[in-house]
Amino acid sequence: MQTETDWLGQITRQSESWLAPMRRLNDSALDSYQKMFHRQMESAFEYTRMSLDQMRAVAQVHDTASYQAYLEQQSRYAEALRERMRDDAEAFSRIGQEFTTAMNAAASKPAVPAKPPAKAA
């Protein structure tokens, strides 16, 4: 005869088995969210720095020569901005691919059914 303790142990093992794939998915999601957050903060900092540099550069324009120098600097700025945006897009894409791979791996692992406790003789 199965005791209450055996029954509760079996229920616990089954629920742990059934919830294991969801735990793996949640862990993968949290890791991806953390990576995305860090990249977004890093990007926000870098875009802010670039914007402030541009404001400082335009504030230095006071004659035709400085205006010409500012305009020449704009092509370098545009290239740096384009590269940064490309790098960000690649990083976010990579994080998304890693997440998809982790989700597929976690979802493909079957839940292992709990084994019933050994019956007392």
Sign of CA dihedral 77, 79, 83, 86: positive
pTM of the entire structure? 0.69
Q: What is the pLDDT along the chain (121 residues), one digit of tens a residue?
A: 556 678 777 878 777 777 877 888 888 899 999 999 999 999 999 999 999 999 999 999 999 999 999 999 999 999 999 999 999 999 999 999 999 998 888 777 765 555 555 555 5
Structure token pair of residue 9:
């142990």
Neighbour tally for 17: CB within 10 Å: 15
Alpha-carbon distance of 8 to 100, in angstroms, equals 35
Structure token pair of residue 73:
């600097």
**Contact present, 39 and 99 (Cβ < 8 Å):** no
Alpha-carbon distance of 35 to 33, in angstroms, equals 5
